[in-house]
């Protein structure tokens, strides 16, 4: 088995984003967390790639349709013990991801809905990204 070493790098030298697992209890939390990621990518062009860990087959199929490529499949002992078969690590070219029509339309809809329903929350989100 090939081991992957993770090192800390100063943010100014980073050229990729890595999204670990996240639990979103509601649709609005899912929308907000992913909108935050999308906006972060828009204002930080130094990020050339986006890596995402995926445990769900439906989400994997969606990511592949949006242009992701599977980098590797992995399974830990804890995953085995908890009945998880395996997970995939996928990668997107950042520019292709943020310029994908389907991705843009999804986040434009989330942004507009948030602007209508919670403009103060949207303002806080934008300020937190700077």
In a domain, 6, yes or no: no
For the beta sheet containing 69-74, the strands, ordered from the edge strand earlier in sequence to the opposite edge, are 16-19, 49-54, 87-93, 69-74
In whole angstroms, give the CA distance from residue 82 to residue 38: 31
- Is pLDDT larger for residue 112 or for residue 10? 112
Number of domain units in the chain: 1
DSSP 25: S
Q: What is the mean pLDDT of residues 67-81?
A: 87
Per the domain annotation, does 122 fall within a domain? Answer: yes
Per-residue pLDDT at 104 exceeds 80? yes
- Neighbour count for residue 63 (Cβ, 10 Å): 20
Q: What is the DSSP letter of 8?
A: -
Residue 25 falls within a domain, yes or no? Answer: yes
CATH number for the domain harbouring residue 80:
3.40.630
The pTM of the full predicted model, rounded to 2 decimals, is 0.78
């Amino acid at each position: 088995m090939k081991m992957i070493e993770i090192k800390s790098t100063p943010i100014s030298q980073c050229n990729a984003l890595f999204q670990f697992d996240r639990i979103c209890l509601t649709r609005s939390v899912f929308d907000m967390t992913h909108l935050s990621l999308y906006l972060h990518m828009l204002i930080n062009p130094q990020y050339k790639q986006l890596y995402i860990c995926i445990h769900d087959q439906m989400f994997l199929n969606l990511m592949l349709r949006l242009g992701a490529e599977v980098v590797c499949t992995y399974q830990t002992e804890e995953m085995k013990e908890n009945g998880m078969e395996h997970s995939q690590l996928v990668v997107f070219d950042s520019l292709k991801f943020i310029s994908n029509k389907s991705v843009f339309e999804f986040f434009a809809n989330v942004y507009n809905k948030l602007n209508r329903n919670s403009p103060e929350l949207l303002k806080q989100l934008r300020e937190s990204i700077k």
